[in-house]
Chain A
C-alpha cells in the first residue's frame, strides 16, 4: 500500500469482504506493516458458494461455488479505497493499493490541556489520597496554583519577559526546521 507520494503506508487497517449477492460478508482485517505490506488469509471452504437465490421460491441455486473477494480501506467512516471484486480467487491474490487522500494520523498533542486536567483530577481524588493527612488550605492553594499556571503559562506577557520558549515547531514532523539555537550562535554568550 502506498500514499499519494508513492511512499509505503504503514499501520493502515485493511478489511476483507466476500460479496454474496447484495451482502458483504466480513472476513477479517489487518494493519499494514512498516513496509506498507499486509497479508490476510482465510479458509476458502466456508466462503465457497456463489449462490443465486430464486426470490419467488427462496430456492437456493448453487452457481459457481467460489467466493468473490474485495478489500477496503477506511479512515474512520470514510472509505479511502475499495478494490475490484476478485471472483474465483487463487491461493494468493495480490492487491496494489494506492491511497490518494491523506490519512489521518494520531495527533499526540491533541487535547493535551484536557488530558493534563484529567490527570490532575484523577490523582487528587480520595481514591489515592489519604484525606485525613491532607491540609485542605494548602492543598487547595496548590491546586489553584497548578490550574492557574496551566493557563498563565500560555500568556504572552510572561513570554515577553525575554523567555524564548520552544525552538522547534509544534509539529516538528510536519514542518521543516533547523536545529540551531540562538544562544549557541554566539561564540561566548555568557556574561560571568
Chain B
C-alpha cells in the first residue's frame, strides 16, 4: 500500500495519490511529525523506510509543479506563510517562510552550504555533541539525495557575473554556489515554486520517495494546523518526567475556517514546523517553559542595487548563483560577519525593496532591466524571542544589536564600493535617508545613515532560526544533541529552531543533516525504546459515535440512520438505580453525579444533557435554547420530562416506548403527553449506556417533519459543564491556588448550561516590580485591565475598578474554576438566563455571577521587557 496525501482542496490532476478530507479523523501511528519542510520530509521518509507508520502534518496545501504558475499574486498566498505578510512585532523585518507541502524548500533559491567548520566547533563548545564525522556523513547523504551540484560558469547570468567580476577586482574569496537542481531551466522564479521540477525540493525527493514506496505506511495531512501536543507528566525508569501522547490539529480551509478535526495518537512525536511555528506549538502545549522561544536570530539581509547603462536583465537565469565569502563564517570569521550573495527577485518582491512609492517608485521601476542586485547576509546575534499573542499567534520580537548594525554598515559599504568599481552609474540602497549614491564619495553617507538610524533601512529575512536551542544543558537548552526535548522520553524537535546560534550560511543543508542524524538515531533505538510502548488512545474532540456532541448535523443524521438501538429502554432512566454492570463500582451519590479530576470528565445522571450539532447556526437558540431530558420509571412505564435550561417552570411531559419506525428500525418513540407539545415527538436511539442520538419531529408519526437532530449524554468534558456542575466542582473538587502555580497565561470560557461557549477571557498572572502578584485581563478582545490578587486559604479573590470581584479555585495545575460576582443583595434574583447565574448564601441573600473556567495557555507571562 503506497502512501497518500489528504487535504481539503480538490485540485484537478494530482501527481501523487490524494484524497479529500470529508470528516474528523483519529489516527494511531508510530510517529507523528509536524511540518513537511527540510527536516520533516527527511524524518518521514527515513522512518517510513524502516517500517514505521508515519503521520505527517502540514499546515499549508499540496501543490504540484504544474500548479506553480509563476505569478506572484497567485503563488504567494498558496506557498508563503501568511502570504508573505510575516513580520517581526515592530513591523520592521519581513520574514520569508514557506507554508505548503515541502515547506520553505519549495520557495527557496536552492542554495546549498555545508555546515561551516567554525560553526560546528562553536556549537560543540556550547554543548552540542555532534562530531565532524557525523556531520560529514549526514551531509554527504543529503547532498546526494537532493542532487547538489555546483553552478557552472556558463550558467551564471549577468547579475551573477557582475558580482563575480567585482570580487575578482578586489581579490575577495568568492565562488559559484552549490544548488540542488537538475538541469535548471534558469527561469528565475524559484521563489514561486519550480514549475519544471528541476529544483530538487522535498516534494520531488524525499516526500515522493516516501509516498511511492510500495509498502509505505505514510499518511500526509495537508491544510492541517497542529494546535497542541498532549502529554502526561509521569516519571519512567530513565527519569523522564513527561511523555507526549499525541497531537490535536484542525483542518483549516483557505478562508481560515476550521472544517474538521484531527487527533493523532503516536509513540513518538517530532516537531519540525520551522523556527517560529515550532516554538509557538511548544509554548501552546506548555512544554519547555521559560526556555522555548529564546535565542532567536534571523540573518537580516539588506540589499544594494547597482544601476548600469546597459541592460543586465537580471531576472533571467539563476537568481542566486554566486557568493562572496570574504567576510563570512565560511572564511573563518568567528563572530558575526556576513556573506554577499547575488540575488534577484520577481517584480513584485523586487518593488517592495525600493523605499519609495508613487512617482519615485515608477521612476525606479523603469530601470528594472538595468539593475544588478546583491544582498548582505548578516550572521546576527541570537537576541530575539518568540512569544504568544493573546489568541495564540506567534509574536516575533527582534532588534538589531550594535554588532549587527556595524556588520550591516560594513557589508553595505563593501558592496557599494564593488558596484562602483565595476562601473555602476549609481547605487540604490534600502535606506530612506540615503536612497541613492551617485559615487563612492556618497558611501560614507550611507554608513552614517545606517549607524545613526538603523530603523530607516529596509531589511528582510529568509532564515529564521533558534528558539528551541540544542545542547546538553537541560537548564538552558530545549533539546539534547539527538533533538529530544529534555525531560521527555518521546518528543523531538528538528528544524532550524534548534540552532544554538545563527548559522551564517543558508541553512537548508544543515537542517537536512540534523534530520538525517536524528532519524537514524530514532531508528536505531526504536526496538529498545519505543517498540513495546503502548499507545495512549484518545479521540480528542473529534466527531465520533462515542462523542456525538462534537458532530455536525449531517454526521449526526447519518449516525442515527445507520445505528441500531443498543440497550434496553430502562437504560435511559436517570437517578441512582444500578444499570447492568456499568456503575456497580460507584457509590449511590456517584451514580448520580461524579467528577474525574484527571480526565476532567463529568458524569451526570441527574438527567441527559442535550447537545445541538456543532454547525447549529442560530447563536441565540444555541445559548438560550439548551435543554435536558430526565426519565423515571413509574409503574413499569418509562416517563420523562424535557426541560429548557433557561426556563425552569417550562417543561414537557413525555412517555417513552420502543417502536419500529419506517426507515429507522427500532427506536425509542418519545410521545409528548402535554397538550401544548403534543404536535411534537422525538425518536431516540441509545448508542451506549451514556450516549443517545435523537431526532425531533413535528406532526403525526411516522410522517412527521424532521426539525432537528441532537445528541444527549450523561458523560461530558468540562467544556460542556452546567452551572450546577460548576458549583459542585467549585465547592468540593477545587482548592485555593498558590502564587507560583498561577504564573502564566490562562484562557477562559463562560459557563453556559445550553452550549459550549468560545474563549472570551485571557488572564495573565505575573509578579509586579515589588514582587506582588497581579493579573492582567482581556475580556472579549475589548475590555482590558488589571486586577489585584488576594489569596486566602479558601480561594483566590481578584478585584478591579468595578464593584464586582472574582473568586477562583484551582482544580488541577492547568485548570481552574471561578465566578465573577456582584455584591450580595436582598433583591429576588430568580430569572438568570444565558451566562448569568445566582449564588445564594446561608442567609438567603443572592448575588449575580458569571461563572467561568480557566485553562492554562503558558507558564510564561509572555511579557518581554525591552531596554
Closest B residue, CB atoms, query A149: B351
Closest A residue, CB atoms, query B700: A58
Bound Cα distance from A150 to B349, whole angstroms: 10
Q: Which residues of B contact A45 (CB under 8 A)?
A: 564, 665
User: Does B76 contact A53, Cβ atoms closer than 8 Å?
Assistant: no
Kindly supply a per-residue 1/0 record for chain A positions 143-185, scoring 1 wherever the CB is within 8 Å of any chain B CB and 0 otherwise: 0111011101110011101111111111111100001010110
User: Does A109 contact B74, Cβ atoms closer than 8 Å?
Assistant: yes
Taking A11-B20, A28-B558 as contacts, is the C-beta distance between A128 and B361 under 8 angstroms?
Answer: no
Q: Range of interface residues on chain B? A: 35 or more
Q: Which residues of A contact B63 (CB under 8 A)?
A: 108
Kindly supply a per-residue 1/0 record for chain A positions 106-143, scoring 1 wherever the CB is within 8 Å of any chain B CB and 0 otherwise: 10110011011011101110011110011100110110
Q: Which residues of A contact B661 (CB under 8 A)?
A: 49
Q: Which residues of A contact B608 (CB under 8 A)?
A: none
Kindly supply a per-residue 1/0 record for chain A positions 11-26, scoring 1 wherever the CB is within 8 Å of any chain B CB and 0 otherwise: 1010000101101011
User: Does A48 contact B316, Cβ atoms closer than 8 Å?
Assistant: no
Would you give the shortest CB distance from A125 to chain B, in whole angstroms? 9
Would you give the shortest CB distance from B184 to chain A, in whole angstroms? 10
Asked if B336 is at the interface of the complex by the 8 Å CB criterion, the answer is: no
Asked if B599 is at the interface of the complex by the 8 Å CB criterion, the answer is: no
Asked if A82 is at the interface of the complex by the 8 Å CB criterion, the answer is: no
Residues 637-671 of B at the A interface (beta carbon under 8 Å): 660-666
Bound Cα distance from A120 to B558, whole angstroms: 40
- Of B12, B185, B355, B701, the residue contacting A179 (CB under 8 A) is B185
User: Does A183 contact B316, Cβ atoms closer than 8 Å?
Assistant: yes
User: Does A161 contact B158, Cβ atoms closer than 8 Å?
Assistant: no
Asked if A92 is at the interface of the complex by the 8 Å CB criterion, the answer is: no
Asked if A190 is at the interface of the complex by the 8 Å CB criterion, the answer is: yes
Taking A108-B63, A129-B87, A190-B158 as contacts, is the C-beta distance between A47 and B665 under 8 angstroms?
Answer: yes
Asked if A60 is at the interface of the complex by the 8 Å CB criterion, the answer is: yes
Q: Which residues of A contact B395 (CB under 8 A)?
A: 128-130
Asked if A101 is at the interface of the complex by the 8 Å CB criterion, the answer is: no
User: Does A166 contact B71, Cβ atoms closer than 8 Å?
Assistant: yes
Taking A13-B22, A119-B85, A142-B91 as contacts, is the C-beta distance between A109 and B254 under 8 angstroms?
Answer: no
Asked if B273 is at the interface of the complex by the 8 Å CB criterion, the answer is: no
Bound Cα distance from A181 to B188, whole angstroms: 11
Kindly supply a per-residue 1/0 record for chain B positions 177-195, scoring 1 wherever the CB is within 8 Å of any chain A CB and 0 otherwise: 0000000011101000001
Taking A10-B19, A124-B85 as contacts, is the C-beta distance between A168 and B185 under 8 angstroms?
Answer: no
Q: Which residues of B contact A11 (CB under 8 A)?
A: 10, 18-20
Q: Which residues of B contact A181 (CB under 8 A)?
A: 185-187, 316
User: Does A49 contact B70, Cβ atoms closer than 8 Å?
Assistant: no
- Of B91, B394, B702, the residue contacting A53 (CB under 8 A) is B702
Asked if B78 is at the interface of the complex by the 8 Å CB criterion, the answer is: yes
Asked if B822 is at the interface of the complex by the 8 Å CB criterion, the answer is: no
Q: Which residues of A contact B554 (CB under 8 A)?
A: 26, 29
Bound Cα distance from A134 to B554, whole angstroms: 47
Residues 349-371 of B at the A interface (beta carbon under 8 Å): 351-352, 355-358, 361-362, 365-366, 368-369
Taking A184-B185, A189-B316 as contacts, is the C-beta distance between A168 and B10 under 8 angstroms?
Answer: no
Would you give the shortest CB distance from A172 to chain B, in whole angstroms? 5
Q: Which residues of B contact A148 (CB under 8 A)?
A: 357-358, 361
- Of A30, A67, A105, A134, the residue contacting B12 (CB under 8 A) is A105
Q: Which residues of A contact B4 (CB under 8 A)?
A: 34
Asked if A191 is at the interface of the complex by the 8 Å CB criterion, the answer is: yes
Asked if B72 is at the interface of the complex by the 8 Å CB criterion, the answer is: yes
Bound Cα distance from A24 to B301, whole angstroms: 63
User: Does B664 contact A163, Cβ atoms closer than 8 Å?
Assistant: no
Q: Which residues of A contact B558 (CB under 8 A)?
A: 26-29
Residues 453-501 of B at the A interface (beta carbon under 8 Å): 455-456
User: Does B82 contact A123, Cβ atoms closer than 8 Å?
Assistant: yes
- Of B19, B365, B391, the residue contacting A31 (CB under 8 A) is B19
User: Does A152 contact B351, Cβ atoms closer than 8 Å?
Assistant: yes
Would you give the shortest CB distance from A58 to chain B, in whole angstroms? 6
Taking A29-B558, A135-B455, A181-B187 as contacts, is the C-beta distance between A130 and B664 under 8 angstroms?
Answer: no
- Of B71, B157, B356, B685, the residue contacting A190 (CB under 8 A) is B157
Q: Which residues of A contact B562 (CB under 8 A)?
A: 27-28, 42-43, 46-47
User: Does A43 contact B196, Cβ atoms closer than 8 Å?
Assistant: no
Asked if B839 is at the interface of the complex by the 8 Å CB criterion, the answer is: no
Residues 697-715 of B at the A interface (beta carbon under 8 Å): 700-703
Bound Cα distance from A34 to B212, whole angstroms: 14
Asked if B348 is at the interface of the complex by the 8 Å CB criterion, the answer is: yes
Asked if B140 is at the interface of the complex by the 8 Å CB criterion, the answer is: no
Would you give the shortest CB distance from A109 to chain B, in whole angstroms? 4
Asked if B170 is at the interface of the complex by the 8 Å CB criterion, the answer is: no
Asked if A51 is at the interface of the complex by the 8 Å CB criterion, the answer is: yes
Bound Cα distance from A170 to B316, whole angstroms: 20
Q: Which residues of B contact A172 (CB under 8 A)?
A: 66-69, 195
User: Does A173 contact B85, Cβ atoms closer than 8 Å?
Assistant: no
Closest B residue, CB atoms, query A147: B357
Q: Which residues of A contact B74 (CB under 8 A)?
A: 108-109, 112, 170
Bound Cα distance from A150 to B195, whole angstroms: 23
User: Does B19 contact A34, Cβ atoms closer than 8 Å?
Assistant: yes
Bound Cα distance from A33 to B10, whole angstroms: 12
Would you give the shortest CB distance from B152 to chain A, in whole angstroms? 13
Asked if B134 is at the interface of the complex by the 8 Å CB criterion, the answer is: no
Would you give the shortest CB distance from B693 to chain A, in whole angstroms? 12
Asked if A96 is at the interface of the complex by the 8 Å CB criterion, the answer is: no
Asked if B420 is at the interface of the complex by the 8 Å CB criterion, the answer is: no
Q: Which residues of A contact B90 (CB under 8 A)?
A: 129-130, 133-135
Mind listing 28 A-B residue pairs with CB under 8 Å? A10-B14, A13-B20, A21-B662, A23-B662, A34-B18, A46-B562, A46-B665, A47-B664, A51-B663, A53-B662, A60-B660, A108-B67, A108-B78, A109-B71, A112-B78, A120-B85, A127-B389, A129-B91, A135-B90, A138-B456, A152-B351, A158-B368, A159-B347, A161-B365, A165-B70, A169-B69, A173-B13, A183-B186
- Please give the residue numbers on chain A whose beta carbons come within 8 Å of chain B beta carbons, in ascending order: 10-11, 13, 18, 20-21, 23, 25-31, 33-34, 42-43, 45-51, 53, 58, 60, 67, 105-106, 108-109, 112-113, 115-116, 118-120, 122-124, 127-130, 133-135, 138-139, 141-142, 144-146, 148-150, 152-154, 157-159, 161-174, 179, 181, 183-184, 188-192
Q: A49-B660, A49-B663, A163-B369 are in contact. List 13 more A-B contacts (CB 8 A).
A: A27-B562, A49-B665, A53-B662, A122-B85, A124-B85, A141-B357, A145-B357, A148-B357, A154-B73, A161-B365, A164-B315, A173-B67, A181-B316
In the A-B complex, list the 6 residue pairs whose CB atoms are closest, starting with the nearest: A46-B665, A119-B83, A166-B70, A20-B663, A133-B90, A51-B662
